Amino acid sequence: MKVGVLGLQGDVREHLIALGSAGSTATIVKRPDELASVDAFVLPGGESTTIGKLLDRFELLQPLRERVRSGMPLYGTCAGMILMATDIAGREDAPHRLGVMDMAVRRNAYGRQVDSFEADLTVAGLDEPFRAVFIRAPAVERVGDDVEVLASCDDQPVLVRQGHMMASSFHPEMTGDARIHELFVAMAGS
Ligand code: GLN
């Protein structure tokens, strides 16, 4: 399976490595014709306002939304999760969103950059805890009936799935542990 990683901003290389370890062929996507050539897609973290603007400017926003709506598997981390949410809670909006996953998220809900933290998560489908890195992470404040919570931290969902879509408020690509990417690749291939 060929997985595209949006290459406009964020920790693109780390996602490519993790997806490779998870057994997929990963490639950077910056143009609509590159998007058309992949079977699944990853939206990395970064700054959601910037990534949204770039998606729009690079004419990827609408084609990506259409691909996902017609079933292409999508995984978004942190800012990527924000861009997937149908609703944004609080004062900080995220314009140019895909708005494909039924949930409400609040940007920067865990405080400022200095408040970034790590936690060991129990993840549905994994035998051992997963060390998760949170960096100015969004909080998931509501999930729709079709959204499954795969992991929580302090009673708040941090890894969620809705059909062919998965999103996490943490960065699984930063710890050299590819098990979350493996979950995504398995989900995308099933
Ligand atoms: N705080 C960022 C935002 O709101 C997300 C941070 C991240 O992706 N690590 O867009």
Give per-residue pLDDT as tens, 78-113.
999 999 999 999 999 999 999 999 999 999 998 665
Q: Whose CA is nearest to atom 2 of ligand 1?
A: 47
List of E strands, the chain? 2-6, 25-29, 40-43, 74-77, 85-89, 101-106, 117-121, 130-134, 139-143, 148-153, 156-162, 165-168
Return the CATH number at 52: 3.40.50.880
Range of the domain at 18: 2-189
Residue 53 is which amino acid?
K
Low-confidence ranges of the chain (pLDDT < 50): none
Determine contact, residues 79/47, Cβ cutoff 8 Å: yes
pLDDT for 104 equals 98
pLDDT for 85 equals 98
Tally DSSP H helices, then E strands, for the chain: 6, 12
Cα separation, 138 vs 77, whole angstroms: 10
Place of tokens 């098990």: 179
Atom of ligand 1 nearest to the CA of 136: 1
pLDDT for 67 equals 98
- How many structural domains does the chain have? 1
CB atoms within 10 A of CB 169: 30
pLDDT for 182 equals 98
pLDDT for 125 equals 96
* Residues linked to residue 167 through DSSP beta bridges, in sequence order: 76, 160
Determine contact, residues 105/140, Cβ cutoff 8 Å: yes
The pocket around ligand 1, CB under 6 angstroms, is made up of 45-48, 78-79, 82, 107-108, 135-136
Atom of ligand 1 nearest to the CA of 44: 8
pLDDT for 111 equals 66
pTM for the model stands at: 0.96
